[in-house]
Amino acid sequence: MFRRQLSDSFVTLASAALLLSSCASFEAVSDSPKMAVGAGTPVVAAAETPPVGTTAADAADDPAIWTDPADRTRGVIIGTDKKSGLYVYDLAGRQTQYLPGGLPNNVDLREGFATPQGARVLVAASDRGRPGAGAALFLLDPATLKLEFWAAIPVALAEPYGLCMARRGDDFLVIVNGTDGQVRQLRVAMGPDGKPAVAEERRFAVPTQPEGCVADEARGRLYLGEEGAGVWRFDLGAGPAKGELFAKAPSAMLTPDVEGLALIEDAAGAWLIASSQGDSAFAVWKVDGAEPLYRGRFSVIAANGVDAVTGTDGVAALGGVVGGFPEGLVVMQDDVDEGPAGARQNFKLVDWREVRRALGL
């Protein structure tokens, strides 16, 4: 393990210097070439989605998972195509909806969002395609499982990039980071006029470009991936943020770029998953204790008609019953889907039990 502490002021100054010394690159397509099958302990995928793609080409990036608390066999997987819009899939990976618009990069969601029509699932995506906006907000109807665009909101970043969400009591938080390392934490509600009421809670930063992030609300923690450096842990409060880089990259755990982050809870505890794009693997830590405990790496190999996951980007996970997965589901982007349509991009579905068996969790 590698640790270091950075104050808000130091990180902010470092990020500002990086912004002045280099121009932010507009990454609307995948940043990873075709790679070899991953170096982690092998697991197999249970299913995969159809490849994303429009006349603008395809660039799958990041997924999110939701299940109905009253019936965990009902739910959706939402995935971004950062060239064109959002895809909605059922819990077996079949496409049910496509929402064109914007250039959404990362996506996340939280249920129980109050609207005049009743509680909805609030879905947020970082977006570089809508003028003046940094994030796009959507509402998922739990009864129909239909997703609708709600509004775009500005975020004070040079180039919005990664995104995750959190609940803190009744507050819904949208956390967006930029290619210059800056992070903005926003509180979002529905105003009396039906439009978003947005308040910026805090600003902090990491030295270089981040992307993936995930919140652990139960323990008040926020995990953030710095692509070329590793994984940070912050508090999930509203005050000044002091970060700890607890997993270094490159290392035996992570090969840059560090991309998606996911959190999954089961009977054995809470687990953090980080996609190690440089060697097509996923690192896993047990994170319900005082300090993260590294438990190994896995990679998704070709089996049962589903090709291997290579050059992976975003990843999402949900524990408990998730459709036909009795103990949890992990969904990750595959940079090169070797299917009948050629080398495209899609999302793979992995039974969490396969990961637990492979790593002895």
Note the pLDDT tens digit of each residue in 23-53.
Answer: 333 333 344 455 666 789 999 999 999 999 8
In this predicted structure, what is the pLDDT of residue 315?
98
- DSSP reduced 3-state for 18: helix
Q: Within 13 Å and on the Cβ side, how many CA atoms surround 150? A: 27
Neighbours of 28 (CB within 10 A): 15
- As a whole-number percent, the residues of the chain with pLDDT over 90 amount to 83
Residue 242 pLDDT class (50, 70, 90 cuts): confident
Residue at 279 is within a domain: yes
Closest to 179 measured CA to CA, from 155, 199, 201, 202: 155
* CB-CB contact of 224 with 206 (8 Å): yes
Q: What residue type is assigned to position 292 of the chain?
A: P
* CB-CB contact of 274 with 225 (8 Å): yes
In this predicted structure, what is the pLDDT of residue 39?
85
Residue at 28 is within a domain: no
Average of pLDDT values for 220-245? 96
Q: Is 186 exposed, middle or buried (0-12, 13-18, 19+ CB in 10 A)?
A: buried
Residue at 302 is within a domain: yes
**Rounded distance, CA 199 to CA 185, Å?**
9
Tokens 């496409």 correspond to what residue? 95
Tokens 């405990």 correspond to what residue? 293
**Rounded distance, CA 217 to CA 126, Å?**
21
In this predicted structure, what is the pLDDT of residue 1?
39
- Residue 76: pLDDT over 80: yes
The sign of the CA dihedral 144, 138, 327, 354 is positive
Strands 269-276 and 258-266: antiparallel
* CB-CB contact of 336 with 312 (8 Å): no
The sign of the CA dihedral 310, 313, 319, 325 is negative
**Rounded distance, CA 348 to CA 162, Å?**
20
**Rounded distance, CA 100 to CA 86, Å?**
6
- Residue 14: pLDDT over 50: no
Q: Which domain holds residue 318?
A: 5-22+36-359
DSSP string for 258-295: EEEEEEEEETTEEEEEEEEGGGTEEEEEE-SSSS-EEE
In this predicted structure, what is the pLDDT of residue 341?
60
Q: What residue type is assigned to position 284 of the chain?
A: V
Q: Which residues are CB-contacts of 55 (< 8 A; sequence separation ≥ 6)? A: none
Per-residue pLDDT of 303-328, as tens digits, reads 989 999 999 999 999 999 999 999 99
Cα 190 versus chain centre, distance: 24
Q: Which residues pair with 124 in a beta bridge?
A: 108, 137
Residue 22 pLDDT class (50, 70, 90 cuts): very low
Per-residue pLDDT of 162-174, as tens digits, reads 999 999 999 999 9
Domain count of the fold of the chain: 1
More confident residue, 14 or 138: 138
The dihedral region occupied by 321, where left means phi > 0, alpha psi between -120 and 50, and beta the remainder, is beta
In this predicted structure, what is the pLDDT of residue 25?
34
Residue at 27 is within a domain: no
Per-residue pLDDT of 77-115, as tens digits, reads 999 999 999 999 999 999 999 999 999 999 999 999 999
What's the token pair of residue 130? 């809508």
In this predicted structure, what is the pLDDT of residue 19?
32
Residue 339 pLDDT class (50, 70, 90 cuts): low
Average of pLDDT values for 233-262? 96
Closest to 38 measured CA to CA, from 287, 279, 294: 279
- DSSP reduced 3-state for 95: strand
CATH code at 235?
2.120.10.30
Residue at 191 is within a domain: yes
**Rounded distance, CA 175 to CA 331, Å?**
21
Strands 243-248 and 47-48: unpaired
Question: Among 87-101, 127-141, 338-352, which stretch is predicted with the lowest mean pLDDT?
Answer: 338-352
In this predicted structure, what is the pLDDT of residue 171?
96
In this predicted structure, what is the pLDDT of residue 8?
37
In this predicted structure, what is the pLDDT of residue 215?
98
Q: What residue type is assigned to position 263 of the chain?
A: L
Neighbours of 304 (CB within 10 A): 8
In this predicted structure, what is the pLDDT of residue 132?
83
**Rounded distance, CA 86 to CA 127, Å?**
11
Residue at 31 is within a domain: no
- Residue 226: pLDDT over 80: yes
Task: Using alpha carbons only, give the angle 321, 166, 193 rounded to the nearest 5 degrees.
Answer: 110
